[in-house]
Amino acid sequence: MTDKLDSRGGQDRQRINVNQDYELRDWSKKFGVSKDQLKEAVQAVGDRADKVEQYLKGSERSSAGGSSGKSSGSGER
């Protein structure tokens, strides 16, 4: 079976190629992070943009104050 040439590019828009300068620049700007932070995120969770975004949002929470608002004490459910 041959590839569908009319549906090119759709998947690529959901993936981040940190080896392409323009993609690294554009995705870093979109997520509001440095190029190094973006590379770290891609290394941690893969190149899917949605997963990278989730990872970066989680990193922002943990670096913003170290507390997620939940106590680690016993008795909470």
- pLDDT for residue 67: 46
Domain annotation covers residue 71: no
Domain annotation covers residue 31: yes
Contacting residues for 24 by C-beta, under 8 A, at least 6 apart:
16, 18, 35, 38, 39
- Number of structural domains found in the chain: 1
- The more confidently predicted of residues 70 and 29 is 29
> Structure pTM?
0.65
Q: How many residues does the chain have?
A: 77
Domain annotation covers residue 73: no
Is residue 53 classed exposed, middle or buried when 0-12, 13-18 and 19+ CB atoms within 10 A define those classes?
Answer: middle
Domain annotation covers residue 54: yes
The residue range of the domain holding 22 is 14-59
Residues 33 and 9: their CA atoms lie apart, in Å, by: 25
Domain annotation covers residue 29: yes
Tens digits of residue pLDDT in 7-42: 455 567 899 999 999 999 999 999 999 999 999 999
Residues 10 and 27: their CA atoms lie apart, in Å, by: 16
Domain annotation covers residue 46: yes
